[in-house]
A and B are shown apart, each in its own frame.
Chain A
């Protein structure tokens, strides 16, 4: 039997009101708000955040594999999962894979993880899904898409929920699609996609699963599944003969459609509220559908309150004041681009342990914890006598400034001032000093001040030398 050992999730702090989008685009408002990734977040960085949440209190060195699911990976060629595995401080002898190109990728990755555990090739596999989809300005999808991430750790140990066998169907339904050169999603006839894709496949997969296991729909406390479009979501309940109350809140109103993340995200939401011995039905749609269910155990109570997951991250939010800021976050508005000096990808590779899992050094002589890792101690000068230690993730501001001359990621030039970088010197809880850019807040001395508590967040740093660099920034504590 394969079990869910832990869950985690991530929702970016920023929300944009759909009325605000409507005001700018003229498209009628669908109501509510959507979660919007900051300019320095993407599907990869958010997947790391969900992974951190999921692995709270768990030794990352015990994880044998990491699967990443997304339709919006920042890379066409490059395993995002390799970067995520390093940022999460996994061992180097683990298996990684990216599941992409379909919103079904989340459940496909989970199925692969379950199969790996079942086959005995891995004891624990972490599945992370991140989505940061961009739709054309003024399109209906623009209001629907939201950004979020979810994570599930599965393994053979006793867990918070048992995972059933999967039942899958495949259907080469036309839309939505993106060709390799497309930035935005394409659709031809969304009504057809809905009827012969989403509704048909989801119902077929879930009914197939129920039949396989001989279970009636009323046995399930919740139904969780993703949708390409909110239309038809509630129709599924009727087709399945379920009470609409059994449907998990799809969170269209407060997060949005989150692609490959959505089915896992809603499963996490259901698990957060679940009691022991509940059955939760889950389906992941996209060119077909994967269905499975989980059955919670007595251990589920242990995990609650130890994860921020959806309940905390949903409450911890800030409203993006304008649609224009949203366009800048998504890089949808023509803007003078600050010049960025080249950066060496070689040094980034060499400094991986400092930049991705964020290790510093502890001096074997004077005990000082300092960053970055250098051969000689910053304090006492002792040479080659240190251990590598993971830097504390929380601290407080020692001093700060808002740099209008060199923007974030060390962009500079005429337009850097449009995007000042908030720089802080931080005293971390272990005594280490870090020099960070601060995200998720505004350059305002009422928001950023000496002694302000901060925590670290994994972010996209900059794009230079045609490469994307990731590492850590600070943010106000989200609790």
Chain B
């Protein structure tokens, strides 16, 4: 691969809605809200300056095709691409937009994501409306990751308490973020007592179903200065990998590491020149759809050796005041997971942290960090590193 993205793309505008059960607004309303927050921050004119858009969304009831963006924003006559890559749809929208800028095709673009899960009703991610195979169906998302938890319990001796500690840490952070869905601290005892969703994962091991939207505005660094002066961050690397949607049929699949994670992290670290993430980076945002996922992500992101992630959470290494804070915003645990929006929201949070203007808890001296977005049955992983220019 000859192409390099390092420092070729600047994030000049970020916008994110309040995440949660937003009954009164539809997907269009949420997208308008997030996009206009980003437009205002970037000092751009949506119709005049923005040349192309990538919008991440998974569910057809949220919207279909590029019209999901063009209609609510009345953004007509320009290219809009809908991106679907499971729960990593959002960060893949950012990735596609960033590469278009880096390639020199456009000066200013928007990457955004939205999902309106609550409109569907019911519990868990909806399946109805899909024409599914009668036998090779999918387990529920918590069940997919519970397969890993039972394996980790057996092989490494991790416990439900270790998982609960992840939830407690993220709830502590999320309680202090004005846009989080859940803004309440919880205790290990409460997490342990919660009803089981997919054994051994209980209610507090799972992120919620939430609505929300997020947007970022990307341009080249030299253009960035014209709009926002020095108030921009640059993308240092993007790594992405897609593996299988049926890991349970793959012989040798360990369920203790996600191969897509490892490859995405390796690619991103290589491009950004990261050899030891704990030293070279200041903090991270990982896809904590379930508490077990956060722990496995630590290992795949090379924050520790296999089997040691539980020690990191026990020793507070990833707490807001720890050596390497993870999910200072409260993560998916507190924001919930409107599929297409999540990866974009992570990019927003990452940018705001390195610019020192986090809405929730600010990581001290945050100059560079990573965000990790995971989708499917550990199928799709994207890692983005953003820092000060």
Contacts and interface: CB of A to CB of B under 8 A. Distances in A.
Interface residues of B, number: 43
Contact of B249 (A341, A371, A421, A467): A371
A348 B137 CA distance: 12
Interface in A405-427: 405-406, 409-410, 412-414, 421, 423, 425, 427
Interface of A: 339, 341-345, 347-348, 351, 355, 368-372, 378-379, 398-406, 409-410, 412-414, 421, 423, 425, 427, 431-435, 443, 445, 450, 461-462, 464-465, 467, 469, 471
A409 B137 CA distance: 8
Interface in B242-281: 244, 246, 248-253, 255
B143 A413 contact: no
A409 B133 CA distance: 10
Nearest to B129: A341
**Shortest beta-carbon contacts, A-B, top 9:** A410-B137, A405-B140, A401-B146, A435-B248, A343-B134, A403-B143, A402-B199, A406-B140, A469-B134
A339 B132 CA distance: 13
B123 interface: yes
A342 B134 CA distance: 8
A343 B132 contact: yes
A410 B128 CA distance: 10
Contacts of B127: 341, 406, 410, 412
Contacts of A425: 147, 248, 253, 255
A404 B135 contact: no
A371 B249 CA distance: 6
Given A414-B122, A435-B248, A342 B132 contact: yes
B330 to A, nearest CB: 23
Contact of B134 (A344, A423, A431, A450): A344
15 contacts: A343-B133, A344-B131, A347-B133, A355-B135, A401-B146, A403-B139, A403-B142, A403-B143, A404-B198, A409-B137, A414-B122, A434-B249, A435-B139, A464-B134, A471-B135
Which of the listed residues B127, B130, B141, B154 has the most CB atoms from chain A within 10 Å of its own CB?
A: B127
B140 A412 contact: yes
Nearest to A401: B146
Contacts of B314: none
A339 B134 contact: no
B23 interface: no
Interface of B: 122-124, 126-143, 146-151, 154, 196-201, 244, 246, 248-253, 255
Nearest to A405: B140
A399 B147 contact: yes
A421 B123 CA distance: 16
A403 B135 contact: no
A147 to B, nearest CB: 24
B249 A405 contact: no
B119 to A, nearest CB: 16
Contacts of A461: 134-135
A413 B122 contact: yes
Contacts of B244: 378
A456 B199 CA distance: 23
Nearest to B130: A341
Contacts of B148: 399
Contacts of B126: 412
A343 B135 CA distance: 9
Contacts of B135: 348, 351, 355, 461, 469, 471
A474 B302 CA distance: 37
A423 B150 CA distance: 12
B111 to A, nearest CB: 31
B134 A401 contact: no
A422 to B, nearest CB: 9
A345 B133 CA distance: 8
A461 to B, nearest CB: 6
A406 B134 contact: no
A115 to B, nearest CB: 37
B150 to A, nearest CB: 5
Contacts of A403: 139-140, 142-143, 146, 198
B248 A413 contact: no
A124 to B, nearest CB: 30
A344 B139 CA distance: 18
A355 to B, nearest CB: 5
